[in-house]
Chain A
Amino acid sequence: MRLKFILGGVAILAAIVFLIATSMNASAEYFLTVDEVQARQSEIVGRNLRISGAVIGDTISYEPDSLTLTFVIAHIPGGNREIEAQGGLALVLHEAVTDPTRTRLTVVYIGPKPDLLQDEAQAIVTGQLGDDGIFYADELLLKCPTRYEEALPEQALEN
């Protein structure tokens, strides 16, 4: 009897590991920076990727009828720690946008144009890299560090 239960438990455990492994394969998203995308282009075409970069304002174009949004992002470091070490998100984004030598990536997204899509915003795009080297995003998240700054406003300083 005991053996039966142990075998049953092992079978369930194996099933769970199997479920995790197959689901990981099907839906894992790889975090990459724009530099890494450039370097590993051939091996990552078609995979689910999540890429973070700085939005270059002049490149934003929007076709309202087909809801097609195109813009270019510039490389920024991937880790929070590196970003902090380089002076914080706002500064890192600013430098990325103003530095013409940075690696860049064109992103196409179908959907309404979000408010926060503006120059020097951080875009986090999820989707796939096409054969043409353009990134086709299914999901677009934006962060504007300057917008939600948590400091005491001027009026408090005056008092």
Chain B
Amino acid sequence: MFIDFGFGILVLTLAVTLFSIAAALYGFYTGSPRWVESARRAMQLTFPLITLVALALIYLLVSGHYEVQFVYSVTSNEMPLYLKITALWGGQEGSLILWAWLLAVFTSAVTLRKWDRDQELLPWVIIVTAITLAFFLALVIFFENPFARWWILPDNTPVAAMFQPSGAVPAFPNNGEGLNPLLRHPGMIIHPPMLYLGFVAFVIPYAFAIAALVTGRTDDRWLRLTRRWTLIAWLFLSIGLVLGARWAYDVLGWGGYWGWDPVEIAAFMPWLTGTAFLHSVMIQEKRGLFKQWNMILVILTYSLVLFGTFLTRSGVLSSVHAFAQSAIGPMFFSFIGVTFITSLVLLFHRWKDLTATIEMKSMLSREALFLLNNLLFIGVLIICFWGVVSPLISELATGQKITVGPPFYERATSPLWGALMLLMGVAPLSAWGKSTFTTLGKALWKPALLAALTPLMLAALGMRNWVALLGFTLVALVIFVSLHEYWRGARARQKAQGEGFLTALARLAARNRRRYGGYIIHISMVIMAIGILGIEIFQTETQRNMAIGDQVELAGYTVRYDSLAQFPYSDGRFVTRAVMSVFKAGEFVDEIYPRYDLYPGGQPMTIPGVRSTLVDDLYVVLVNWENVSATQTPFKIYHNPLVNWLWIGSGIFILGYLLAAWPQKENG
């Protein structure tokens, strides 16, 4: 009953969404506010409707209706309740429902606001969001139906379909396959919704941009209206990416956090354009420059969000090979293609209106440096995109399939990351309009001098890798410049207002939240860079077959293999768990428990034993292998210097973000 109910509401939602598009179009072209109002109410109705759909699906998941193919494929009797609920986004069908639900939430929120001054944008905001929503609903209804049931055909083969195929009888399995064990991790429970929140929230700025292009209201009103949406999208996308990295580090057991897999890159690309957009909107707000460029960025971000959803929708295990077989591939590509080209046509139509009235005057001005920042982000984007599509392109061009791995991305992007760090150090000091080497040098020399001490210190400590020395110098430069800015601002206030230093500091940050929050975000980024430089450049590893009592040494640590236990666990998995003692300079420091769990159905999960400190992580993997025994246990041991700073930096990032984005009165 819930199956038909859920599906029925789903179809109804699509009908309401289509009505909304038609009503908004009619209202716009006839100039009838009543029809636009009707379209707006219809869009608001989609939120409760899709909520019902999601609830029906969650009910099916929780109550074990395995006759539903989706339920069968992501849950099982052994799974705890919270996993059954979160299994909603454990598969492709459910995650598309989640996507549609989030879009309905955001669209309802945006249509609920007061529109008096921006009435003319409303119909097109509705049309763009509704078309996107309709696309996802249609995908779910026609191609990836989460309510499809199992049927047994007369020739005894099972088939999944919504409606009874002729002669078929319904099948009622009494247990499901269960969620992929790799996804049964706290990080995996919140990582996909975070990423999706980020993805979907970017639809709103895009909808306003298109509305501005269609209606010809090409001032920066659309930017101001969507600033908060952009920030929210960016926050969640960032958190989603970091959680994914953390999950990979904790669960995948290959010693790293980021593998330049196409799926990861797909989620990373909208972040790149989104970050560029976040910076360049400031130029438009302050100087009225870059109007066309901002449009291009928001259009690109929207397309990349769709592309990212398409590549990531089925979770970890989808790869370039998996999606080719999915029915929704061509649909996605067509939709991305059509929206992208339509958007560009609209943009060129308004190109002249968007031309800036002033010109950039100086190569060192703040706006010129922001432009450089944007070009660098786009550079990274181009490299990533090239890496993802190179197998396709090379095969078409030469018949020889060429892929690129992590070394490609690392080599090609690292100079750009370096340049971006340098910009983070320099750009905050340059002035709007006009800057010269002299003015810039004056502001820069003190922090730069301090930063220049860093490589000397590190070299004295024995660091000889020049990439690392350069990297850490840039990290120091950004930190010193940002702190110096805080100090300078607070000093000036202290003098002018006669406040105490701390009061001055607090008020300074509170009055210019975006700027001073931004500095903290810059600091958080380079603190993350410390972790990345540490693990990328100084990671060492060894692998060994060990018997109990054996010791192995790595990077000043001695790891002793103490014991091994193998036992079945209540939920059906079989656990193999080693106990190891870690010694540093002869002293016992910690005990770690690398293990691997074999789930019924043969799916393994490797959980490393990690001793984590601010200086380094010792990361030991019990390699998943059937014939593990006390006398022959294969281990991989990694020494990951400084990697903890990656996670610490993420925490600081959120603090900086909260400072920058905390609601503040408009004229602040």
Which residues of A pack against B, CB within 8 Å?
1-2, 4-5, 8-9, 12, 15-16, 19-20, 22-24, 26-31, 50, 64-65, 67, 78, 80, 111-115, 126, 147-148, 150-153, 155-157, 159
Contact = CB atoms under 8 A, between A and B. Distances in A.
A27 B158 contact: no
Which one of A29, A30, A80, A113 has the greatest number of beta carbons of chain B within 10 Å? A29
Contacts of B72: 152
Contacts of A27: 404-405, 407-408, 411
Given A1-B360, A19-B411, A151 B158 contact: yes
B407 A114 contact: no
A153 B173 contact: yes
Contacts of A24: 390, 402, 404, 408
B507 interface: no
B657 interface: no
Interface of B: 66, 72-73, 150, 152, 156, 158, 171-175, 321, 324-325, 359-361, 363, 368, 371-372, 375-376, 379, 382-383, 386, 390-391, 400-405, 407-409, 411-413, 415-416, 543-545, 601-602, 604, 623-626, 632, 634, 636
Contacts of B602: 115, 147
A65 B631 CA distance: 11
Contact of B172 (A5, A29, A153, A156): A156
A19 B412 contact: yes
B171 A159 contact: yes
A15 B379 CA distance: 9
Given A16-B383, A67-B545, A111-B543, A26 B411 contact: yes
Contact of B383 (A1, A20, A28, A30): A20
A112 B636 contact: yes
Interface majority SS (helix, strand, loop, mixed), chain B: mixed
Which one of A22, A50, A152 has the greatest number of beta carbons of chain B within 10 Å? A152
Contact of A159 (B172, B375, B544): B172
Given A9-B375, A29-B402, A112-B636, A23 B408 contact: yes
Given A67-B634, A80-B321, A31 B403 contact: yes
6 contacts: A20-B382, A28-B390, A29-B402, A78-B401, A115-B604, A157-B152
B572 to A, nearest CB: 15
A24 B398 CA distance: 15
A152 B379 CA distance: 47
A53 to B, nearest CB: 15
Nearest to B378: A16
Contacts of B158: 151-152, 156-157
B415 A19 contact: yes
Contact of B363 (A8, A23, A28): A8
Contact of B543 (A15, A28, A112, A156): A112
A16 B382 contact: yes
Given A30-B401, A31-B401, A155 B173 contact: yes
Given A115-B626, A156-B171, A12 B408 contact: no
Contacts of A80: 321, 324-325
A1 B171 contact: no
A28 B401 contact: no
A40 to B, nearest CB: 10
Contact of B379 (A4, A16, A50, A65): A16
Nearest to A113: B625
Contact of B407 (A4, A26, A64, A153): A26
A5 B368 CA distance: 9
A118 B361 CA distance: 67
Given A19-B411, A80-B321, A12 B379 contact: yes
Contacts of B403: 28-29, 31, 50
Contacts of B386: 20
A152 B407 contact: no
Contacts of A12: 372, 375-376, 379
A6 to B, nearest CB: 12
Contacts of A111: 543
A95 B152 CA distance: 30
A28 to B, nearest CB: 5
B459 to A, nearest CB: 27
Nearest to A156: B173
Given A27-B405, A31-B403, A150-B73, A155 B632 contact: no
B629 to A, nearest CB: 10
A152 B625 contact: no
A92 to B, nearest CB: 14
Contacts of B73: 150
Contact of A23 (B361, B411, B601, B604): B411
B156 A28 contact: no
A150 B625 CA distance: 24
B130 to A, nearest CB: 34
- A-B pairs, top 3 by smallest CB distance, nearest first, are A112-B634, A152-B158, A31-B401
A2 to B, nearest CB: 7
Which one of B321, B325, B375 has the greatest number of beta carbons of chain A within 10 Å? B375
A151 B368 CA distance: 58
A32 B625 CA distance: 28
A67 B173 contact: no
Given A1-B361, A26-B411, A112-B543, A152 B150 contact: yes
A1 B321 CA distance: 49
Contacts of A19: 379, 383, 411-413, 415-416
A152 B157 CA distance: 9
A158 B415 CA distance: 62
Given A12-B379, A26-B407, A114 B545 contact: no
B172 A31 contact: no
Contacts of B407: 23, 26-27
B166 to A, nearest CB: 19
A147 B604 CA distance: 13
Given A12-B379, A80-B321, A156-B173, A4 B363 contact: yes
Nearest to A124: B321
Which one of A26, A30, A50, A159 has the greatest number of beta carbons of chain B within 10 Å? A159
B400 A1 contact: no
A156 B545 contact: no
Nearest to A21: B412
Given A23-B411, A67-B634, A156-B172, A31 B604 contact: no
A31 B398 CA distance: 12
A8 to B, nearest CB: 7
